[in-house]
Structure formats: C-alpha cells, structure tokens
Structure 1
Amino acid sequence: MKTFKLASLEILDSQESNMVQQSFPLLDGLVINREDEQNRWVIEAYLLHKYYNFFQKLKEKQEEVLIQVKISKESNEPATFITSLIGINEIGAHMNVLFKGTIVDQRKSIVEDKLKSLIDEGYSGEELLIKFKEHI
C-alpha cells in the first residue's frame, strides 16, 4: 500500500444534465492506494461536523459517488474516482468520511474519445494513424 496526503476533495453530482462540483474544506485527509487486484483506493477526509447531514444523505442513497481529489498538494492535477461512501464517523466537533473506489484514467478517456471522433469522421487505416498523430 502507498499513502498520500489528501489536498482537496470535491463531490461531482449530476443534476438535470449538468455536472455540479461541491468542494469541502479539509482539516486533514489521506489517499491510500491499496495496490490490490481490483486497483481500489481508500480516501479519508477529515472535515468539520457541519457537513455531517450532507454526507449522511449521500450515504443513504447507496449510489456510486464521483469524487475529484488532489493528491499531495493543491497545485497537482485532480484525480477522479468512482467510489462508494463506506463510512462516516463523528469525532468530537469534527468528522471523517471514508470512500472506497477506483481511479478514472482521464488521459486514457480523452485519447479514446479523440480516436472515436476520428473514426466517426470516416478515417481508417494509415489515414487514421496520420490524423491521430496530428491531434496528439
């Protein structure tokens, strides 16, 4: 396992075909790469207790939660995870929330989308390869 500092946390929620991002100021937090067969990660965010009701409602939905986090420092690019909210713990005037999930490789997704776009435009074979190289 590898452990990193959690630098920021955003919940991504789709509402009426729009993606809404909600940021939460962190008191502390960890991102743990479990390095298991399913490539699962654990994200722990230590927050003010005032967010308890929000996360409790999110947990009650029992749906996957899309989150974006920055690992180690604020200046890093955000990493996106598809997670389940597995725990909420009250700790005095604070709380922690625990997510378990898998990281989404956005670079791979961008490349796949570009390739699909070129195929949809009718490119194939050597011509597809040339056009693809021009775009990346």
Structure 2
Amino acid sequence: MKTFKLKSLQILELHHEGIERHSLDLMDGLIINREDDQLRWTIEAYVSREYSSFLHRLYEEKSEIIIRAKITTESNEPAVFITTITGVNDIGDNMNVLFLGKLVEQKTSKVELLLTTLMDEGYQGKALLPAFKQRIL
C-alpha cells in the first residue's frame, strides 16, 4: 500500500440540470492506494461538522459518487475517482468521511467533457453514472 497526503477534495453530484460541485474545506486527509486485486483506493477526509447533513445524506443513499482529489500538492491535476462512502464518523467537534473507490485514469477535463456529452445525449438521473462507467472504465 502507498499513502499520500490529500490536499483537496471535491464531490461531483449529478443532477438532471447538470453537475453540482461541492468543495470540502479539508482540515486533514489522506489517500491510500490499496494495491489490491480490484485496484481500489481509500480516501479519508477530516472536515468540519458543517458538512454533516450533506455527507450523511450521501452515505445513506449508498450510491456511487464521483470525486476529484488533489494528491500531495495543490498544483497537481485532480485525480478522479468513482467511489462509495464507507463511513462517516464524528470526532470531537469535527468528523471524518471514508470513501472507497477506483481511480478513473483520465484527465479531469476529459472526464467533465464526457459527463457533459452524456447529459447532452439525454442521460440523467440513475442512468447517467452507468453510462459514464461504461465509457470510461
């Protein structure tokens, strides 16, 4: 396993109208390449409880979530992951959220272009993510 510093985290929520971006102000975070046979990554973000209702809602929905994460330095291109939230935990006055997912091996601009194209083709709601995964993975 390889562990890296998580520098920024953005959650992309897919709606009928488009993509809503939620940037989380990180207090701390790390990202682990598990190097397992499924090529999964674990992402842990330590954040303020101001995100509690949003993160708990995503956790309870148990749906796949697209995230963008900058690793090691702010100047790096964000890596894109298809994840699920595996845990949301209160820690004192703050909280952490754990994601488990797979790295999408594309530049961020290509990922956003593909999402926009799929939406222009009429994919929306629950049909959008499977179409995205089929074309990107």
TM category (shorter chain) comes to 0.7 to 0.9
Q: What are the superposed Cα offsets for residues 14-37 of structure 1, whole Å, 9 maximum, x if unpaired?
A: 112411111010000000000011
- Residue 19 of structure 1 is matched in structure 2 by 19
Match of 1:29 in 2: 29
Q: Which amino acid aligns with 1:35?
A: E
**Residues 1:62 and 2:51 are matched in the alignment:** no
Match runs of 1:1-136 below 5 Å = 1-107=1-107
C-alpha distance in structure 1 between counterparts of 2:88 and 2:60, whole Å: 11
Runs of 4+ in 1 over 6 A off after TM superposition: none
User: Given the two structures, how large is their TM-score scaled by the length of structure 2?
Assistant: 0.77
Aligned positions, number: 110
The gaps in structure 2 that reach 5 residues or longer are 114-137
AA paired with 2:96? N
Aligned-pair RMSD on alpha carbons? 1.6
**Please, which runs of 5 or more residues in structure 1 have no aligned partner?**
114-136
Closer, same or farther in 2 for the Cα pair 1:105/1:17, shift >3 Å?
A: farther
Aligned AA (1:7): K
- Counterpart CA distance in 1 for 2:8 and 2:101 is 17
